Amino acid sequence: MSCRRAREEALEQGIGQGMNRLGALVALLLNAGRFDDAKRVSEDAAYRDKLLVEFGLQG
């Protein structure tokens, strides 16, 4: 496998993991009735990072 392809695969894997973490966070927030927080994490990266830590989902 070429270095370029390995980098592309690593990037795809990282994006997938990030999407999974975001999906899990949104599901937890919605299940907890924290609708305003769910909206905010979609717009505010710093707040999203804070809640990822709060819910133990940090990378």
The residues, any chain, with a CB within 8 Å of residue 58's CB and separated by 6 or more, are 49, 52
Check residue 58 and give its pLDDT: 86
Closest CA to 50 of 30, 29, 35: 29
pLDDT at 2 over 80: yes
Q: d(Cα 59, Cα 50) in Å, to the nearest integer?
A: 12
Alpha carbons within 13 angstroms on the beta-carbon side of residue 47 total 11
State pTM to two decimals.
0.82
Q: What six digits make up the tokens of 42?
A: 């979609």
Give the rounded percent of residues in the chain with a pLDDT score beyond 90: 86
